[in-house]
Structure 1
Amino acid sequence: MTELDTPPDPALVAEWRALLARHAAAACALDRELGERYDLGMSEFEVLERLWEDEQAPREAGLRVQDLACTVHLSQSALSRLIGRLEKAGLVERAICQVDRRGIYVALTEDGRTRYREARPLHREILARTLTDGGAGRG
């Protein structure tokens, strides 16, 4: 018997497809609506939010790029390009780690904090609309 001969599990496959549909609906709505109103994509917003959350922790300001890459589910190179765009827009700034000169820290600028605070309500509204049981799949 090969793995293709294994009886299918339609409930499991249906659950997987529903998860994919919810993710796609949320991602598309986030990219479209955040882009139209705040000139941010889903990944840009996620980076701003992770940096915002990091600022709330009492320690050195800024996240190392390599630590940020693990939390936003982007490759190191994709994240570097994204940070470059955010830096060019004046929303983040990079700095060399004084302890380990190989490390690069990223932190929000005041404009980045402002843009994040302005965009957060729309982000949460989109999540509620696309990820709750009553709104799943709408976008």
Structure 2
Amino acid sequence: MTATDPALTALAQGWCALSLLHGRIEARVEKALQAEHGLSAREFSLLDVLGRQHDGPGGHLQMKQVADAVVLSQSATTRLVTRLEDRGLLSRYLCPTDRRGIYTEVSDSGRALLAEARPTNDTALREALAEAAEVPELSALVEAVRSGGVPAGVRA
């Protein structure tokens, strides 16, 4: 393949479109969450991931799993957890069956903030997608996000 290969050009264009869509969504969600709830999009995402944990086998996530879920390095995730813990939104405790393991859970105030912020997040997401759907280069990606599928003509 050469740099002018049509397949590479299409791939590069697809990647640029995806990056643009992600940037638009993230900026819109970030602005709304900060203005209404004093949360960053990453903080919301972390609270959301941790809020979905449950007691019992496989119910708690290791920090690497949390880092993967919020698309951050483990060290960045640890710093984010510490910031939210300092705000009283999370707490950490030792795993009862493996004293080396540390669990992180959302506090009652964190759950309350998450519940308040979820509609803001959802509204900002819908608005960002509606705006992006008007851009011809993004419309197929928007449809894929809305449907949970892959747009026609796009292959992994």
Give the TM-score of the pair, scaled to structure 1: 0.84
Let me know the Cα RMSD of the aligned residues. 2.1
Q: Which has the higher contact order (CA 8 A, sep 6+)?
A: 1
Q: Give the whole-Å Cα distance in 1 for the aligned partners of 2:69 and 2:80.
A: 14
In structure 2, the residue matched to 1:40 is 39
SS of equivalent to 1:106: strand
Letter in 1 for 2:132: A
Q: Give the whole-Å Cα distance in 1 for the aligned partners of 2:75 and 2:83.
A: 13
SS of equivalent to 2:52: helix
In structure 2, the residue matched to 1:112 is 110
CA displacement 1:44-97 (0-9 Å, x = unmatched) = 000111112224xx5266433222112111111000000000000100001111
Q: Structure 2 stretches of 5 or more lacking a match?
A: 135-156
Give the TM-score of the pair, scaled to structure 2: 0.75
Q: Give the whole-Å Cα distance in 2 for the aligned partners of 1:137 and 1:23.
A: 13
- Asked if the contact 1:34/1:119 (under 8 Å) is kept, the reply is yes
In structure 1, the residue matched to 2:16 is 17
Match of 1:68 among 51, 66, 69: 66
Q: Give the whole-Å Cα distance in 2 for the aligned partners of 1:70 and 1:18.
A: 23
CA displacement 1:94-133 (0-9 Å, x = unmatched) = 11112222211000100000000000001011111113xx
Match of 1:135 among 128, 131, 135: 131
Q: Structure 1 stretches of 5 or more lacking a match?
A: none
Identity in percent: 35
The count of corresponding residues between Structure 1 and Structure 2 is 132
